[in-house]
């Protein structure tokens, strides 16, 4: 599963895209956030961290599959 | 609807799009780069967008506005890249038969854009830089 990164999450991880290994067994939004927080503890200090699936905000209990476009959404600040 | 992410804001394009013989009011909000923030001088802002999702989320708030108010036309254009103080970075425009609807819809759209649309800005000061809103 690939996860797209923007803004401060791209800076924290040093990557614009992370590959989550299959053996990590990630299949929900909540599990993905937990796994990323372990890999990159600085993500846990952000004001908020959302996950988007196919351009829509996802809920913690939503299921993730490899064919979806998954992205990490740090606090937005447009305008 | 005119909804897009651009390198440079063209106010005339947005205004031209919004004009209509059915409209008695055209309301334009232009967000610009401020040269100070929390007591520090801002020398530049960098904007970054998740384009596909930003467009989708702008379409959602545009549809909400069309549901709430009797609007004729609607435009949301946001810029990305490095921007100097004074530069326009977002334009929200609405036309409607009467002015109340366009004033209210314009306010609603910029407020919602700031909450949900995945665009990020980094403020550059003389000595350092921060991603706005990132930390509590």
CATH architecture of B2-126: Alpha-Beta Complex (3.90)
Q: What is the pLDDT of residues B48-81, one digit of tens each?
A: 999 999 999 999 999 999 999 999 999 999 999 9
The phi and psi torsions of B36 (rounded to 5 degrees) equal -150, 150
A-chain residues within 8 Å CB-CB of B46?
Answer: none
CATH number of the domain to which A58 belongs = 3.10.20.30
Both structure tokens of A53: 């699936």
- Give residue A44's pLDDT: 96
CB B118 within 8 A of CB B50: yes
For residue A18, the enclosing domain spans: 2-73
Torsion of CA A46, B64, B78, B48, to 10 degrees: 20
Q: What is the pLDDT of residues B105-119, one digit of tens each?
A: 999 999 999 999 999
Both structure tokens of A10: 């791209």
- What confidence category does residue A46 fall into, taking pLDDT thresholds of 50, 70 and 90? very high
Q: What is the pLDDT of residues A54-66, one digit of tens each?
A: 999 999 999 999 8
Distance CA B90, CA B124 (A): 19
* Nearest-neighbour CA in chain A from B21: distance (Å): 29
- Give residue A77's pLDDT: 98
- Whether residue B48 and residue A78 make contact (CB cut-off 8 A), yes or no, is no
Distance CA B79, CA B87 (A): 10
- Give residue B12's pLDDT: 97
- What confidence category does residue B10 fall into, taking pLDDT thresholds of 50, 70 and 90? very high
Interface test with B, best of A6, A10, A76 (most B CBs within 10 A): A76
* A4, A55, A76: residue with CB nearest B120: A76
Query: Cα B100 from chain centroid?
Result: 20
Distance CA A54, CA B35 (A): 36
Please identify which residue in the block is written with the tokens 């100070």. Answer: B36
A-chain residues within 8 Å CB-CB of B136?
Answer: 47
- Structurally, how many domains does chain A consist of? 1
CA B6 vs CA B10, B49, B85: distances in Å: 9, 10, 18
- Give residue B32's pLDDT: 97
């Amino acid at each position: 599963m690939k996860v797209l990164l923007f803004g401060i999450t791209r800076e924290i991880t040093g990557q614009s895209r992370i590959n989550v290994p299959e053996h990590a067994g990630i299949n929900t939004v909540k599990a993905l956030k937990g796994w990323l927080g372990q890999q990159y503890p600085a993500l846990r200090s952000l004001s908020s961290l959302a996950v988007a699936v196919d351009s829509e905000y996802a809920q913690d209990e939503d299921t993730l599959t490899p064919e979806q476009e998954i992205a990490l959404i740090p606090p937005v600040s447009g305008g | 609807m005119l909804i897009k992410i651009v390198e440079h804001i063209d106010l005339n394009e947005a205004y031209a799009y919004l004009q209509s013989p059915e409209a008695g009011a055209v309301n334009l909000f232009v967000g610009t780069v401020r040269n100070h923030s929390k007591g520090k001088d801002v020398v530049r802002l960098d904007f970054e967008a998740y384009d596909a999702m930003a467009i989708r989320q702008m379409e959602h708030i545009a549809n909400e506005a069309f549901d709430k108010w009797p609007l004729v036309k609607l435009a949301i254009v946001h810029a990305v890249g490095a921007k100097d103080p004074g530069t326009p970075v977002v334009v929200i425009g609405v036309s409607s038969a009467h002015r109340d609807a366009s004033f209210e819809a314009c306010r609603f759209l910029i407020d919602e854009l700031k909450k949900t649309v995945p665009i990020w800005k980094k403020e550059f000061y003389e000595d350092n830089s921060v991603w706005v809103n990132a930390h509590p």
